């Protein structure tokens, strides 16, 4: 069959790498893809949000399945459009994608259905928000209601920092329409982790947990990013704790969406924190996480397209996982997540049986790969021990030390090695 993957980042490259292992898949198209994706898929010059052109392409090229990677087209209703055109597509409809598109919606849903999360309030006026923060104290969490490319969350350590975040979002429009409304949450203590699941209505098939590293620099310093590295599974979580997170969070959330008349189909991502009272929700996403996908999919034994077909048909995909760990480290452009230059030449890196090079912000120029985004690529390694997997990654990343214009964290997964 022919498969179309919509998106241009590392998540989409990882999905394509997995699809290419399937004997059922003849050809993969990527719209619009990136430089590295060209090795496995044919790139199509159509934007992720151009539903009409994507639908036309899918029909013209006998595309059996379309998989939507990023959040923006989902929240714009691309799945609704594909379904109306009679095409098979994997992802939530517009109303269901609101679980990611609006923090306010997600928090209200959790409150109504008693899904564990931090206490919160919603504000549109800066003065009211500041008054609330001054009453609550710090640390406290300030979130833009809408999409902000993973950067719309400020964990304010002081009241002054919270006031600044409120002003940036509500007064100065830091994230445009996404921060016209903000959610202020209690700060939760604990270890964060990500738990993704294949979902069709009330049927939930959880993947193994992973842990992302959001801060830009070593020691969890610096601004929040889209993610600087990840590993899976998470050694400090017991099987019982993971199962409890599925039964108290993922399954109730899926059932809640059914109850609300907006059944969720696709990948439900729960960003969680393991507190002394158990797992609580930090956020929901309506698609595969990035960079979590790049370390979870290499451990999946199953044929990905068969899993999707099974889930969509209401069958149990019977997920199976490889033993051991997968760790991945992101290489980013200097200056990210702020302003950065493009066009820096990358060293030649190749995948092996146990390591994968996953491109995100790259393109081909003059026979070489050059940077074309904030997060440039991710290198992952798979081994029986997490430390060994990460050693494999860092040994490959040494090549970047001779190239200007890049940085990466040197401590991905380090805390897990001592738990």
61-116 pLDDT, tens digit each: 999 999 999 999 999 999 999 999 999 999 999 999 999 999 999 999 999 999 99
Looking at domain 119-186, what is its CATH homologous superfamily? ATP-grasp fold, A domain (3.30.1490.20)
Residues of the chain with CATH 3.30.470.20: 191-312
CATH architecture, domain 191-312: 2-Layer Sandwich (3.30)
**145: its two tokens:** 């209601």
Summarize pLDDT for 23-32 with one digit per residue, the tens. Answer: 999 999 999 9
What's residue 419's pLDDT?
56
**DSSP H/E element including 280:** strand 278-285
Task: Say how many C-beta atoms besides its own lie within 10 A of residue 348's C-beta.
Answer: 9
What's residue 274's pLDDT?
96
Specify the fold of 2-94.
Answer: Rossmann fold (3.40.50)
- The residues, ordered by sequence, that sit 6+ positions from 304 with a Cβ below 8 Å of its Cβ are 15, 18, 19, 21, 22, 297
Cis peptide before 5 (omega within 30 of 0): no
pTM above 0.85, yes or no: yes
Rounded Cα–Cα distance for residues 326 and 393 (Å) = 10
The pair phi, psi for residue 332, each rounded to 5°, is: -120, 160
The pair phi, psi for residue 239, each rounded to 5°, is: -60, -35
Residues of the chain with CATH 3.40.50.20: 2-94
What's residue 111's pLDDT?
97
3-state secondary structure of 177: helix
Please state which CATH number belongs to domain 325-418.
Answer: 3.90.600.10
Rounded Cα–Cα distance for residues 404 and 338 (Å) = 17
What's residue 148's pLDDT?
83
**2: its two tokens:** 């022919």
Rounded Cα–Cα distance for residues 188 and 194 (Å) = 15
Segments in the chain below pLDDT 70: 150, 418-419
Rounded Cα–Cα distance for residues 174 and 168 (Å) = 5
Burial of residue 302 (number of CB atoms within 10 Å: 0-12, 13-18, 19+): middle
Please, are residues 178 and 146 in contact by the beta-carbon 8 Å criterion? Answer: yes
Residues of the chain with CATH 3.90.600.10: 325-418
């Amino acid at each position: 069959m022919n498969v179309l993957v919509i998106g241009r980042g590392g998540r989409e490259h990882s999905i394509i790498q997995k699809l290419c292992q399937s004997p059922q898949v003849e050809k993969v198209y990527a719209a619009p893809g990136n430089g590295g994706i060209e090795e496995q898929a044919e790139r199509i010059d159509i934007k992720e949000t151009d539903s009409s052109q994507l639908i036309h392409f899918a029909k013209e090229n006998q595309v059996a399945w379309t998989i939507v990677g990023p959040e923006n087209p989902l929240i714009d209703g691309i799945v609704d459009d594909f379904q109306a055109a009679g095409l098979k597509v994997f992802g939530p409809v517009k109303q269901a994608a609101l679980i990611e598109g609006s923090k306010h919606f997600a928090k209200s849903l959790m409150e109504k259905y008693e899904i564990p999360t931090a206490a919160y309030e919603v504000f549109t006026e800066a003065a009211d928000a500041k008054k609330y923060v001054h009453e609550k104290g710090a640390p406290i969490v300030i979130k833009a209601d809408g999409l902000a490319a993973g950067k719309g969350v400020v964990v304010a350590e002081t009241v002054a920092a919270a006031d600044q975040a409120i002003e940036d979002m509500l007064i100065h429009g830091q994230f445009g329409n996404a921060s016209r409304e903000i959610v202020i949450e209690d700060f939760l203590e604990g270890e964060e982790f990500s738990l993704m699941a294949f979902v069709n209505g009330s049927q939930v098939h959880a993947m193994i947990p992973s842990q992302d590293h959001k801060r830009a620099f070593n020691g969890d310093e610096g601004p929040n990013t889209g993610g600087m590295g990840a590993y899976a599974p998470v050694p400090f979580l017991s099987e019982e704790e993971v199962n409890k997170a599925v039964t108290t969070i993922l399954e109730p959330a899926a059932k809640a969406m059914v109850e609300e008349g907006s059944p969720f189909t696709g990948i439900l991502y729960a960003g969680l924190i393991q507190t002394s009272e158990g797992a609580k929700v930090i956020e929901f996403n309506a698609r595969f996480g990035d960079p979590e996908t790049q370390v979870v999919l290499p451990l999946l034994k199953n044929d990905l397209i068969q899993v999707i077909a099974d889930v969509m048909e209401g069958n149990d995909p019977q997920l199976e996982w490889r033993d051991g760990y997968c760790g991945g480290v992101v290489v980013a452009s200097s200056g990210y997540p702020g302003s950065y230059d493009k066009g820096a030449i990358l060293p030649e890196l190749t995948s092996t049986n146990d390591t994968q090079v996953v491109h995100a912000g790259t393109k081909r120029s003059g026979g070489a790969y050059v940077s074309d985004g904030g997060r440039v690529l991710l290198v992952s390694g798979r081994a029986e021990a997490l430390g060994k997997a990460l050693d494999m990654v860092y040994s490959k990343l040494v090549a970047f030390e001779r190239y200007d214009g890049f940085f990466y964290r040197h401590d991905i997964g380090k805390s897990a090695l001592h738990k």
